[in-house]
């Protein structure tokens, strides 16, 4: 039996429950998945500003939290917290190990995912109407291929205590330890499909233990504030039980597992990873005691010949600003504020005309589902929210100023102005032939 | 819309939220929402009524591309894949929920007809 835990399902995921897993999970492996497409694009920007950055900002805190317990309990760590700067991230892990007195700790750095120099202006983006990179109209910043199992296996074979990667497919972070433990061949598609299923279920952390699930009165989750991360007990045949620490909040039921099963999945029979074309369409689930769900019948067929590449672009800035109205005729006053903003921004600065789209929502009436439903009836607590994205920072500042000026110049009773300008990235996807991507492993010793 | 399947029984109309749960995910400008009935006994009526066409027709301004439906019968679940349904996706949408995380509740507020004598959701 192999015990795998997930200690992060995204970049900013909680640390405390990951420390619990390291201390009490009796795990063989603890995996931290923190690398979304946009996270990666932002990390490239960070590295450009400072060559010693570009890895997960919580890497040091996470390692300080779990490394000692993990080493003491024989739990190996696998993580993509290297993001856009694996070599620096590996150095940070070594530093933390020394600081904690863990002399001799081995850290394997998996690189080779960065393919920025292998793409050209004529590379096609399959998720963007097959446009070429140079037709996007934004500065091209970075490209990373999704590495898989075969890039991580040599790192595990090196005996490393910590394996740190950049862009790898999320399920591969979990599949690699399973395949390593059970000696699966990298063309045993049925087995790899089962292991990929386990990885897919675990990769979003608490999304399978009660997070992103609760709907009070319909789907109640016990002690959600103290939700625990998931654990998978994986058998040699690839079947698994999904569970959690007994004293952690949250829950594991057939329902929590079902919702995660198809999270971000399109055709359940064809889930593509670098390792396999996984088939989740015949999966069977059985509750096997409290907070234990048995997962079986994952399957797979031959892996794709190409690797997916995340291509990052500099998207300029996202500017957002808002002001609120409450009480009688709040809706009328908020609508008037929106009308004034459209008129003034368009007339004075051309904002909201072609080229610089402007969006104004009335939060409380139509913000999230506005396009789907159109405006709903009046509310008495309404926030005008204005958003725009542009490379022109001055235009962003102009918009914020106009919104703030409504406090004195706009409708009665407006309050609660807030505005912010944040850097924006745009990502698209391309494909690259597998043989053009060369993964490498370097082992550092603390 | 359910005249054929429900012709023999008197029915009442409820929100899908009363009998099913759902989760939304995004990839680029494509949203997927998986829908799971609480009671396997409701799967047949949901499968016959909650068609891809019904979802597409419910939100014509939001869902600009085709809608495909995948069925996972043994787990009593349906997966709706809606293309060009995220106002450009997280890269370009200026919406507050640019991932469409809340799209699951757009599906759950659609209505289905259930037998009148069926117990509360």
Residues A152, A163 contacting (CB under 8 angstroms): yes
Whether B79 sits inside 8 A of A266 (CB atoms) is yes
pLDDT above 80: residue A375: no
Find the distance separating the first CA and the last CA of chain B, reported in whole Å.
21
Asked if B34 lies within 8 A of A359 by C-beta distance, the reply is: no
Question: How much is the ipTM here?
Answer: 0.95
Binned at pLDDT 50, 70 and 90, residue A105 comes out as: very high
> What pLDDT score does A331 carry?
96
Question: Mean pLDDT throughout A54-76?
Answer: 98
Q: Both tokens of residue A132?
A: 């070429």
Q: Which of A399, A325, A329 is nearest to A362 (CA)?
A: A325
Nearest CA in chain A to B106: A369
Q: Which of A405-409, B7-11, B51-55 has the lowest mean pLDDT?
A: B7-11
pLDDT at A441: 98
Say what the pLDDT of residue B121 is: 56
Q: How far apart are CA A279 and CA B84, in angstroms?
A: 25
pLDDT of B9-35, one tens digit each? 799 999 999 999 999 999 989 999 999
Note the pLDDT tens digit of each residue in A203-244. 999 999 999 999 999 999 999 999 999 999 999 999 999 999
CA–CA separation, A23 and A7 (whole Å): 12
B77 and B36 Cβ atoms separated by less than 8 Å: yes
Beta bridge partners of A321: A386, A419
Q: What is the pLDDT of residue A97?
A: 98
Per-residue pLDDT at B91: 79
Q: What is the DSSP letter of A282?
A: T
Residue B99 CB partners (closer than 8 Å, separation 6+)? B26, B86, B90
Cβ within 8 Å of residue A343, ≥6 positions away: none
Which tens digit of pLDDT belongs to each residue from A299-355? Answer: 999 999 999 999 999 999 999 999 999 999 999 999 999 999 999 999 988 898 877
Question: Which residues on chain B place their C-beta less than 8 Å from a C-beta of chain A?
Answer: 17, 21-23, 25-30, 32, 34, 36, 38, 59, 61-62, 68, 70, 72, 74-75, 77, 79, 81, 87, 90-92, 94-97, 102, 105-106
Question: Cα(A35)–Cα(A115) distance, rounded to whole angstroms?
Answer: 17
pTM over 0.90, yes/no: yes
Cβ distance A346 to A352 under 8 Å? yes
Mean pLDDT of all residues in chain A?
96
Considering CB atoms only, which of A254, A263, A385 is closest to B25? A263
Residue B120 has pLDDT above 70, yes or no: no
Cα angle A130-A132-A138, degrees, rounded to a multiple of 5: 120
d(CA A68, CA A102) in angstroms, rounded, equals 7
pLDDT at A289: 96
Q: How far is A103 from chain B (nearest CA, A)?
A: 42
Question: What confidence tier does B84 reach under pLDDT thresholds 50, 70, 90?
Answer: very high
Confidence of residue A377 (pLDDT cuts 50, 70, 90): confident
Q: What is the mean pLDDT of residues B34-41?
A: 98
pLDDT in tens, A241-263: 999 999 999 999 999 999 999 99
Q: Among all chains, which residue has been given the structure tokens 């004034």? A: A340
In this prediction, residue A369 carries a pLDDT of: 92
Residue B71: closest CA among B94, B44, B97, B95: B44
Mean pLDDT of A400-419: 97
At B42 the pLDDT is 97
Residue-by-residue DSSP string for A27-89: -SEEEE----HHHHHHHHHHHHH-TT--S-TTHHHHHHHHHHHHHHTT-EEEE-TTTT-HHHH
- Cα A58 to the center of its chain, rounded Å: 14
Instruction: Check whether A122 has a pLDDT greater than 90.
Output: yes
Residue B110 C-alpha, separation from nearest chain A C-alpha, in angstroms:
12
For residue A373, the 8-state DSSP code is H
pLDDT at A349: 86
Determine the pLDDT at residue B2. Answer: 47
Look at B96 and A282 and tell me if their CB atoms are within 8 Å. Answer: no
d(CA A330, CA A379): 7
Alpha carbon of residue A5 to chain centroid: 17
The pLDDT-based confidence of A104 (bands split at 50, 70, 90) is very high
């Amino acid at each position: 039996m192999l015990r795998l835990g997930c200690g992060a399902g995204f970049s900013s995921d909680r640390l405390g429950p990951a420390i619990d897993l390291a201390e009490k999970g009796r795990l063989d492996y603890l995996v931290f998945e923190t690398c979304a497409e946009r996270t990666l694009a932002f990390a490239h920007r960070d590295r450009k500003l400072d060559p010693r950055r570009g890895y997960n900002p919580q890497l040091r805190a996470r390692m300080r939290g779990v490394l000692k317990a993990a080493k003491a309990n024989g739990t190996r760590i696998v993580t993509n917290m290297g993001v856009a700067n694996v070599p620096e991230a590996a150095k940070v892990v070594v530093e933390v190990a020394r600081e904690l007195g863990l002399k001799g700790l081995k850290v394997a750095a998996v690189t080779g995912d960065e393919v920025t120099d292998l793409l050209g202006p004529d590379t096609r983006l399959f998720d963007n109407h097959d446009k070429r990179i140079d037709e996007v109209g934004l500065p091209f910043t970075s490209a990373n291929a999704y590495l898989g199992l075969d890039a991580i296996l040599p790192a595990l074979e090196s005996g490393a205590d910590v394996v740190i990667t950049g862009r790898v497919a999320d399920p591969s972070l979990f599949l690699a330890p399973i395949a390593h433990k059970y000696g699966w061949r990298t063309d045993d598609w049925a087995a790899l499909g089962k292991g990929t299923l386990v990885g897919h279920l675990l990769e979003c952390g608490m999304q399978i233990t009660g997070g992103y699930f609760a709907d009070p009165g319909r789907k109640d989750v016990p002690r959600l504030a103290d939700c625990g991360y998931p654990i998978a007990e994986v058998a040699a045949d690839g079947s698994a039980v999904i569970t959690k620490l007994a004293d952690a909040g949250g829950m594991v039921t057939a329902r929590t597992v079902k919702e995660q099963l198809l999270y971000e999945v399109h055709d359940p029979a064809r889930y593509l990873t670098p390792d396999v074309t996984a088939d989740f369409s015949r999966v069977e689930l059985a509750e096997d005691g409290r907070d234990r769900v048995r997962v079986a019948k994952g399957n797979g067929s031959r892996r794709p010949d190409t690797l997916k590449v995340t291509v990052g672009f500099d998207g300029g800035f996202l500017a957002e600003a808002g002001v609120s109205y409450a009480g009688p005729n709040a809706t009328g006053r908020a609508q008037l504020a929106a009308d004034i903003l459209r008129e003034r921004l368009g007339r004075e600065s051309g904002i909201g005309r072609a080229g610089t789209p402007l969006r104004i929502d009335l939060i409380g009436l139509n913000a999230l589902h506005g396009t789907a439903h159109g405006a709903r009836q009046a509310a008495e607590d309404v926030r005008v929210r204005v958003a725009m994205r542009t490379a022109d920072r001055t235009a962003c500042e102009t918009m914020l100023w106009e919104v703030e000026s409504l406090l004195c110049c706009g409708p009665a009773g407006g309050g609660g102005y807030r505005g912010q300008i944040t850097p924006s990235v745009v990502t698209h996807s391309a494909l690259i032939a597998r043989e053009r991507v060369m993964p490498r492993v370097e082992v550092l010793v603390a | 819309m359910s005249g054929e399947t429900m012709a023999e029984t008197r029915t009442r109309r409820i929100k899908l939220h009363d009998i099913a749960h759902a989760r939304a995910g995004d990839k680029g400008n494509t949203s997927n929402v998986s829908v799971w009935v609480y009671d396997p006994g409701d799967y047949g009526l949901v499968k016959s009524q909650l068609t891809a066409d019904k979802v597409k027709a419910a939100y014509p301004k939001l869902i600009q591309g085709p809608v495909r439906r995948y069925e996972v019968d043994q787990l009593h679940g349906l997966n709706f894949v809606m293309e060009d349904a995220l106002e450009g996706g997280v890269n370009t949408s200026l919406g507050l929920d640019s991932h469409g995380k809340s799209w699951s509740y757009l599906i759950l507020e659609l209505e289905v007809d259930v037998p009148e004598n069926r117990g509360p959701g």
